[in-house]
Amino acid sequence: MSSHTSDHSAPAILAEVKPIPLPRAELVHNNRDFKWITDKICGIVEGPTPTWWWWCFCLAVLVASFTVAGITYLVGTGVGVWGHANPVNWAWDIVNFVFWIGIGHAGTLISAILCLLRQKWRTSINRAAEAMTIFAVVCAGIFPVFHVGRVWLAWYLFPIPNSNYIWQNFRSPLEWDVFAVSTYGTVSVLFWYVGLIPDLGTLRDRFTAAGNLLKARIYGFFAMGWRGSNRHWSNYEMAYLILAGISTPLVLSVHTIVSFDFAVSLLPGWHTTIFPPYFVAGAIFSGFGMVMTLMLPLRAIFRLEDLITQYHIDCMCKITLATGTMVGYAYSVEFFVAWYSANPYEGFAFINRAFGHYAWAYWIMVSCNVITPQFFWFKWVRENTWFVWVLSIVVNVGMWFERFVIIVTSLARDFLPSSWGYYSPSIVEIFTFFGTFGVFSTLFLLFIRFVPIMPMSEVKCVIPQADPHGKDHH
């Protein structure tokens, strides 16, 4: 026992043996200082509007007008203008809803889960990814709201007293979804805004010094009088940590509840317990695809290579690889369970997916979601930015098809062969979905024009000069 007492002296050799210095990955290249970071990020907001921005903005608004046209026609005529009919009464609207909501999940993963895990590389992609989340939720919300038919009665979804005196059925997963998605949208906006406050303060001070009092007032209003007091930072950091702590279970619950829309029903191919984890993994997978689709062009246009380094791209590729492989594993488990359950309806649903009328969609899904991410095992792929960008788009094509396969194939071939059908979208649905990419791009372009695209105060925290213990820190 004596060798375990606390006062025994360490062997003399320990003083001489030093661990091998393994430097951590550099998060900001070229030894940039605080001033450079501020000027770089504020410069994007303060500078003149680039010509490419106007071209992209006009194109985005043009594309968004397709959604406006599609929805106007739907409201004026009726939900029948979409291609839904028995037995496929849920189709593109729910596919697109789940697709966009899933994309949003990477933003919350980066801002909340990676914050709790102390992944410092999150700082430079955090703001844009959270913006992506909010805009994706906006696009997602369009579909169920207009699918209710009489959109002016969509407030019936919320427990607001009305003249019918009847309340919502809280046993329904669809009602749970109303609360999950509206909470998710609200908390995402709050989290994003809290992160913005210190940077808005920086912009306010810079516009004040430059004599642009109108902008100083607008940014100052939203900065809430932030002045960088450390007594404020103390509360701010605690609030930020709590928001990260509650956003983590929130993001996991949102896609879990989205999957309940299907899993709680009795339809073969939907009624499975694997859905919640499988949907969450797929959501993060598609979201990281979208983050890379957006960040790689931004990095090239604004010359942000010092802030979004190869290390950042590597990390994002590896998360895409991990979640994509989980999704592939879930596909195989679904098949195994369909066979192992010995339920003929369940078995038929899966054979039908892979070899039935919608086999083309199934194999697009498998090749995009299971094969594509496997390229990220290779360093030369991760270092080829163009290749990564193309793969990131393929990932999202695959994830759209995943939702299509799950929803449409199961409904088109349910229990009774007499009610089988084949679903094709109408031109109105195609217009509406195509247009949401314009809605998303319009919002994102406004974001990069008017809001600092990176959290300056957080990026400054991760450079070596921020360490108050200087070089003597161990």
Partner 1 sequence: MKKTYGIIAAFETTPALYHACEQVRDAGFKQWDAITPFPVHGLDAAMGIRRSKVPRISICGGIVGFCTGMSMIWWTGAVDYKLIVGGKPLFSPLFAFPVSYELTILFTAFATIIGMFVLNGLPMHYHPVQKAPNLTRLLDDRFHIVIEANDPKYNAATTRAFLEQIGGTDIAELEE
Residues that bind partner 1 (CB under 8 A): 33-35, 38, 159, 165-171, 173, 175-176, 179-180, 183, 186-187, 190-191, 194, 198, 201-202, 205-206, 208-209, 220-221, 224-239, 242-243, 246-247, 249-250, 253, 257, 260, 456-458, 460-461, 465-470
Which residue in the block uniquely carries the two structure tokens 């070229």? 30
Query: Shortest approach of partner 1 to residue 233 CB, angstroms?
Result: 4
**Cβ-based nearer residue to partner 1, 170 or 360:** 170
**Cβ-based nearer residue to partner 1, 85 or 224:** 224
C-alpha dihedral over 436, 191, 188, 299, to 10 degrees?
30
**Cβ-based nearer residue to partner 1, 18 or 118:** 118
Query: Shortest approach of partner 1 to residue 330 CB, angstroms?
Result: 22
Which residue in the block uniquely carries the two structure tokens 């031109």? 427
**Cβ-based nearer residue to partner 1, 51 or 230:** 230
Bridge partner residues of 88 (DSSP): 85
Determine the residue type at 73.
Y
**Cβ-based nearer residue to partner 1, 210 or 351:** 210
Contact 408, 95 (CB under 8 A): yes
Q: How far apart are CA 452 and CA 206, in angstroms?
A: 13
Query: Shortest approach of partner 1 to residue 89 CB, angstroms?
Result: 20
**Cβ-based nearer residue to partner 1, 183 or 419:** 183
**Cβ-based nearer residue to partner 1, 168 or 385:** 168
**Cβ-based nearer residue to partner 1, 32 or 318:** 32
Query: Shortest approach of partner 1 to residue 40 CB, angstroms?
Result: 12
Query: Shortest approach of partner 1 to residue 228 CB, angstroms?
Result: 5
> What are the C-alpha distances in Å from 444 to residues 6, 294, 430, 468?
59, 9, 22, 36
> What are the C-alpha distances in Å from 256 to residues 237, 263, 402?
29, 10, 16
Contact 91, 361 (CB under 8 A): no
**Cβ-based nearer residue to partner 1, 200 or 368:** 200
> What are the C-alpha distances in Å from 200 to residues 40, 112, 193, 229, 352?
15, 21, 10, 15, 54
Six-digit token string for 27: 């998060």
**Cβ-based nearer residue to partner 1, 48 or 468:** 468
**Cβ-based nearer residue to partner 1, 89 or 186:** 186
Q: How far apart are CA 290 and CA 285, in angstroms?
A: 9
The DSSP line for 70-134 is HHHHHHHH-GGGSS-BTTB-S-HHHHHHHHHHHHHHHHHIIIIIHHHTT-GGGHHHHHHHHHHHH
Contact 453, 126 (CB under 8 A): no
Query: Shortest approach of partner 1 to residue 31 CB, angstroms?
Result: 14
Query: Shortest approach of partner 1 to residue 18 CB, angstroms?
Result: 24
Q: How far apart are CA 200 and CA 214, in angstroms?
A: 14
Widest pairwise Cα distance in the chain: 87
Query: Shortest approach of partner 1 to residue 106 CB, angstroms?
Result: 19
Query: Shortest approach of partner 1 to residue 338 CB, angstroms?
Result: 27
Q: How far apart are CA 356 and CA 377, in angstroms?
A: 33
Element (H, E) at 194: helix 173-210
Q: How far apart are CA 70 and CA 68, in angstroms?
A: 6
Query: Shortest approach of partner 1 to residue 104 CB, angstroms?
Result: 16
Q: How far apart are CA 283 and CA 260, in angstroms?
A: 14
Query: Shortest approach of partner 1 to residue 282 CB, angstroms?
Result: 20
**Cβ-based nearer residue to partner 1, 46 or 314:** 46
Contact 146, 92 (CB under 8 A): no
Rg (CA), the chain: 25
Query: Shortest approach of partner 1 to residue 236 CB, angstroms?
Result: 6
> What are the C-alpha distances in Å from 87 to residues 91, 116, 232, 312, 329?
10, 45, 58, 46, 30
